[in-house]
Structure 1
């Protein structure tokens, strides 16, 4: 509908139509690239605990024993088998990763993909993951922001020194640098508060709202846009989110009805739309059909 709108193909769950074969993401990503999707996205959990009822955004979609593949590794596989489509995390739980190692892994993937990585980052919600990683759950917000400050520093000229509450080092080099350098896109899957907006405006490029509510998106975009202006930035924040999933008269998710919500969500502030075909696909043969239907919204 709008040529400037970006479409993101959420790969979550589609491997199940291929017997769980994760290499199916290559074929699906190639479909997305052929059809003009701007990015593919993959999700993240390092480990899962048993307390899924603590998931703060409704019912958790999978049991504890379900497989979660490491997203930067998956995107490296996809990068090696595509040439144009961007590679996004939606989202990566940044404080679970050592910042220097995260900076190195991200730079390596951005180099392999020739500058196609888009890093969506968040705090995480599950204490068990932090316990398993040896990271303080209570301090995760502080660790999160220090981690991103370190990554941004290591993606510029070296040597770099850093002195924070959780990490301290002097005169280190972390090469190669990302192809995109400090311009490597950082989008934040956080609650949009004025404090978070100010921090995002200093180091990031946009927001991934967790809710599809148009009031939620509109209010968050306004807060973040004001922070970008206050920070003296000339660019506008990128807002990437999902459409409300609409169901038919039988209660089944319906892609046609869902896509009709596009204009309203864009008016509320979305300029990048992430769609998860798993909500609408019934069989492997449906995947290309659904992707083609989604891609046509950019041409209409």
Structure 2
């Protein structure tokens, strides 16, 4: 199983200049992937900005949004942003998307919480059209350079519709930062949906787990703040690894579930958390 690390873009009041430094150190440490966890209505750095900073500061490590709330964006605009980040990175981006559930995240006029699932369905087709070089609104120009690739997508969420989107549009599934016993059914459902849809091979399965090794108290406070208005079953059960033993147990447990990758998401933005985690898992 591969081991990735999150960017601290979701840590409250993060210093934005930390992000490219974090990305470069994570690549040097040997992690497989750098991932974002983002919200609009929170004092952090947006997924697209954080991923662009990471793309420019690294050369080999994978990049992942885990997950970006796609229906909060105009579809064509997000497709262009994503294509640009992927291009800057040399084709290292995977777009992880979800529909979101909190009204305060939906700030663009006309793109509210209601109807977000249907909008995402339409937006997924728009992404493919934009990435394929289709003209913008029938005009003379495409939105992206010739040769832009179709960015691979993973899907997060707990509904049957999320799995339907995964098998139609995506390459796999992202599970939330919940204990293995709570996430295992979602991964099994993803595998089952993949088989029943007749997709070849197996879906890529990624899980998230928060960590705070040097300062567990601050990490716990940050995590509680981030999930303060989240659904109770998520807020009360989010996994936070605070000791070497917990990190190693998480790797063991998720390996036993047959997952492809675990992303350890930082609950603080202290740069020395990178070598602490690397010493345990890389």
TM-score (norm 1): 0.74
**Aligned partners of 1:158, 1:100: CA distance in 2, in Å?**
11
- Structure 2's unaligned 5+ residue stretches are 221-241
Q: Which has the larger radius of gyration?
A: 1
Q: Which has a greater percent of helix?
A: 2
RMSD, matched Cα: 3.0
- Residue 135 in structure 1 maps to residue 111 in structure 2: yes
| TM-fit CA distance, 1:34 | 1.1
Q: 1:220-239 to 2 correspondence within 5 Å?
A: 220-239=186-205
Secondary structure of the structure 1 residue equivalent to 2:96: strand
Q: 1:57-206 to 2 correspondence within 5 Å?
A: 67-156=43-132, 158=134, 173-176=142-145, 179=148, 181-182=149-150, 184-193=151-160, 195-206=161-172
From 3, 7, 13, the equivalent of 2:3 is: 7
**Aligned partners of 2:80, 2:155: CA distance in 1, in Å?**
20
**Aligned partners of 1:145, 1:175: CA distance in 2, in Å?**
21
**Aligned partners of 1:219, 1:29: CA distance in 2, in Å?**
32
Q: Which residue of 2 aligns with 1:257?
A: 246
| TM-fit CA distance, 1:94 | 0.5
Q: Contact 1:111/1:178 (CA < 8 Å) preserved in 2?
A: no
Q: How many residues align?
A: 256
User: Deviating runs (4+, > 4 A) in structure 1?
Assistant: 13-16, 169-172, 243-247
| TM-fit CA distance, 1:177 | 5.5
| TM-fit CA distance, 1:198 | 2.4
**Aligned partners of 1:264, 1:28: CA distance in 2, in Å?**
27
**Residues 254-296 of structure 1, C-alpha deviation per residue, up to 9 Å, x if partnerless?**
13323223122222242210102336x8x65x32431322433
**Aligned partners of 1:238, 1:177: CA distance in 2, in Å?**
28
Secondary structure of the structure 1 residue equivalent to 2:97: strand
**Aligned partners of 1:117, 1:149: CA distance in 2, in Å?**
19
- Structure 1's unaligned 5+ residue stretches are 49-66, 161-168
Q: Contact 1:224/1:237 (CA < 8 Å) preserved in 2?
A: yes
| TM-fit CA distance, 1:235 | 2.9
- Residue 36 in structure 1 maps to residue 12 in structure 2: no
